[in-house]
Structure 1
């Protein structure tokens, strides 16, 4: 996401999905263009020998009659099919549902909301009531489409907000959700799942006649959960732990649950069809960083990480959201959260028609477990706790810097912070490394994101100038301006669908799926070259979530040496949550220290002009 997400708003008096069929399709780049851009993008990260090897493989890929030409022709045929929404239609399921590692901490992301002076149950009740109002308005397609600079954005992802649950599979996961052939229309579910102390409860949030429960009713129901779950669940019984397993392992465990007893099928059905989850935490976190950490991974006894949306509320009233990523990107969740938190709770309850109906129907959800499944639950709990402990995190806050200050320095706010990241990384690790930035492309039909690779020759020159004792301030400013302009230009290319990585990756996937049929039995050499592997081996993975309603945004690292950089860049503040594997912790903290200095240094440098 870029700072442009700040400028989105909701157009009035238009049904939610009114624009979907009229949105332009994601452009399919020409093969030659993607090959040329790929070489430009990877070149700054390669030695001359690595670049020569990569150039030879690119030439072979796009030679007349070569594998690239045939694979691209197949992609063009797919893109031209009348049932195709986007040439990425098969890419996204593989990209998200095909991953076989754990999604907890590795894929799910979180937002920490602004603090509100409420009790745990009152805060959870307000969030629940607001989400139910949103859901009912979405059912009626009354959520106005989001626009950006007057251009409507795809609202397709909103269909994943309620009752959507990722289902583990042996080779690829699936999603159980409404708005599909298997589940036509919106969800008719009236319940949520509430967690406390590793115990699970089904709670109705909409009455039998379709009228939502009032916030007072919901608070009473949540209070009943706290009372019923005052004692933590016995070890080996909190099945939510299983959702932290690698996907094939969890698929096997889920199959054993279903085969063991019909009760388990009924319980899974309640969980998977629930509108969303509410996780009531205990005890309260010590500080903001611990709050963020627990939003990212928390006590897995108190989570169902496969659920699209889980609100997490702490005893001190702090709250946030944990999101399963397969159908939801940050921009969609930001719009959802902004709507929930941007309107007084009593107004949302009144708008939904909520009324007092007494204590909502609340009851425990239980599984029948044998010794083997109890052992699996216990092992999953221990292994995930160890995995979370092996992740180092920190928060970083700039209370005197934001997008307004960057604009006053006549530079793009996103370019400013990205260049600061590169300078800090160079100083912390002694080198530049592959850097990913997520660029939203929701202006296209079913658009999601594009993968931008940040390091350019101009950034190399900029970091070199900043640490060259012989460079003058004017030379350093000129290097900054050139690097910022190159960054903005590349971001615009990505925003218009002119980026190489996902295009080339989909060609590789076509070869895997249909290579024999197409007469391309071997993987093209490009996908084994240093250019392909080095460019995609992240040292920094970055994404932005600008919203005045959230304090921090966060996600896990993407590789054994990567620092995840999730940032909230607003006009008057700049907050970051960093994460990395424990062996890289010292470098992450050095990066944070250097980033503080880099922001101040660049502000002073640009102010001189």
Structure 2
């Protein structure tokens, strides 16, 4: 995966997709809006949605010298002296020979493709060529906070409002009326109507520079056009992304059955909310038993096997039904189960039972019997920036301007005619394939354990008062926790968005550093040997260095994507790889035992994903004003409960020092 490339970051904390509409198309789209219902759009941005897209800066390719220097700095914390000397020798030889040539070729290729970024095509290829199941391996989830008005968490009411708000978001985006995604460092200057009225008249080819002048950084929005009517289609060897913006229907899944009905009418307007409510009520009351062979579970299968079975489905006459699924605006999964606790929510939203999901859709909204909601999204088309924006807007709209309420009466329409339950012709080979897919799914998810931590002693406010980076401190707690549990420092991945650049995707922050290793050993292995002042100095060192790594990654100045792109280029040319890439140390640093990602949003309750390696942890976390939360997954090779106990102890020690006290 990994999840949550989620934000640019708290302090600077992705690409592909369809071509954005042209400026002239947006002008045409804006005509006539005065006659439309205000319920059709979330808002009408003064600045067109894609106004900054043309002038976004291009993702820089770091210098080869900087990449090797950063690579060796990251390896220093993971290797003993002898291992490091070997890796350093290989890296320097790569820099002066094979790498120098590859870097030059990569730069030349980038100059000839100024419409995109150097990482975009290789990153798409990496995702779409992966043959493993996308469940657990790639798809993450983000769960919504409950509606603050409890009565609005009724499954039917909330589902209706979510569908309506999602359509409003889609319409606002496609009309060019969605507020552009901008990271404001000085909102008092840049996030004002006055500035927006001015910048809208600056040509798109120059608009980014106008925003930059007032410390605002527009983000790439090219991925947004894969949000809707999009699906990952399995193919032998490499999947493809499919989008059909003409689709006006919603795909609803319940008990493994699939239903479709229009949520946009022939004029392109939102179907009346009372009618959508009626159709959803019909689906929720349908007594059709769960199918003996639920088709959705095939989307959890190995991609080549799913591609083979999909071809069989098409040959058996199911092509039209599959096209209906693929072109649906999005997928709504209505679960009949109520959630017991956060752990149950995480399991349900991350993987569920395999039968009531179509994991290939660009995103699915999952809504349980008790109104718990989440987004599960397919990762190849894009990253967390677009999905988080969608989730934030849906939550804001459904809680502030809901179109139906608990007393709303569904429209008196013939939902039995409007709603179509999809039927499939399944021969014995396909039925056997579904049976095996179910077995494989249950075997895989049965190995996953999830646990959560809520640390209530302090959070962002207290750390910032001490001029410590909240993210750096939590990452240090993970290093200390793993050291306490396993006695070693291991490869750690933190996702960082590079959406500040045209067709940026993500870069890796490497939180395991010489600074965190020294600090973790002082806390864990040498208790009582350092004063509170000495430990606080170490915390400051970790914080400053992590802040530097974060800014470098957000600015496209990491090392992971550069080394990846050069390896991809060599492979595409059929060239033998340099020994750097077969070095056990290179293999180890890319075997990310701690895979981490963060986000904090008023819309999001939990975020989560599975470990990216069998002996790893998948760590989703959030640093709030006065508390810290972690949602962590593992397979049998690791004990997630013990790990979180170690992380909690580490946070206790850190906050003791932050409060000026010594630890024993």
Taking structure 1 as the reference length, what is the TM-score of the superposition? 0.92
CA contact (8 A) 1:424 1:595 kept: yes
| Alpha-carbon distance, 1:208 to partner | 3.0
Measure, in 2, the Cα distance between the counterparts of 1:604 and 1:167.
52
**Pairs within 5 Å for 1:409-558:** 409-467=466-524, 468-469=526-527, 470-515=529-574, 521-558=575-612
Report what 1:381 is aligned to. 438
Measure, in 2, the Cα distance between the counterparts of 1:283 and 1:275.
25
CA contact (8 A) 1:194 1:277 kept: yes
Measure, in 1, the Cα distance between the counterparts of 2:11 and 2:278.
39
Measure, in 1, the Cα distance between the counterparts of 2:87 and 2:363.
42
**Aligned residues between the structures:** 584
Moved more, 357-366 or 524-533: 357-366
Report what 2:447 is aligned to. 390
CA contact (8 A) 1:133 1:349 kept: no
Report what 2:396 is aligned to. 342
Report what 2:228 is aligned to. 162
Which residue of 136, 157, 160 corresponds with 2:171? Answer: 136
| Alpha-carbon distance, 1:345 to partner | 5.8
Report what 1:182 is aligned to. none
The two structures, once aligned, show a CA RMSD in angstroms of: 2.1
| Pair 358,18 (structure 1): closer, same or farther in 2 beyond 3 Å | farther
CA contact (8 A) 1:281 1:302 kept: yes
| Alpha-carbon distance, 1:207 to partner | 2.3
1:590 corresponds to 2:642: yes
Which residue of 323, 333, 346 corresponds with 1:279? Answer: 333
1:342-377 superposed Cα distances (whole Å, 9 cap, x missing partner): 124673659xxxx96835521111221110100101
Runs of 4+ in structure 1 over 6 Å off: 7-11
Which residue of 107, 111, 122 corresponds with 1:76? Answer: 107
Measure, in 2, the Cα distance between the counterparts of 1:555 and 1:507.
28
| Alpha-carbon distance, 1:29 to partner | 1.0
Report what 1:233 is aligned to. 291
Taking structure 2 as the reference length, what is the TM-score of the superposition? 0.84
CA contact (8 A) 1:508 1:523 kept: yes
| Pair 17,229 (structure 1): closer, same or farther in 2 beyond 3 Å | farther
1:208 corresponds to 2:266: yes
Measure, in 1, the Cα distance between the counterparts of 2:89 and 2:287.
63
**Matched residue SS, 2:120:** coil
Which residue of 226, 239, 247 corresponds with 2:303? Answer: 247
Report what 2:242 is aligned to. 176
**Matched residue SS, 2:284:** helix
**Pairs within 5 Å for 1:106-121:** 106-116=137-147, 117=150, 118-121=153-156
Report what 1:27 is aligned to. 60
- Unpaired runs of 5+ residues, structure 1, are 179-186, 516-520
**Matched residue SS, 1:90:** helix
- Unpaired runs of 5+ residues, structure 2, are 14-42, 185-215, 405-409
Report what 1:258 is aligned to. 314
Measure, in 2, the Cα distance between the counterparts of 1:2 and 1:418.
16
Report what 1:46 is aligned to. 79
| Pair 461,8 (structure 1): closer, same or farther in 2 beyond 3 Å | closer
Report what 1:193 is aligned to. 251
Measure, in 1, the Cα distance between the counterparts of 2:55 and 2:313.
44
Measure, in 2, the Cα distance between the counterparts of 1:363 and 1:595.
50
1:186-235 superposed Cα distances (whole Å, 9 cap, x missing partner): x121101100111111121122333212332222111111222552222x
CA contact (8 A) 1:213 1:356 kept: no
Report what 2:197 is aligned to. none
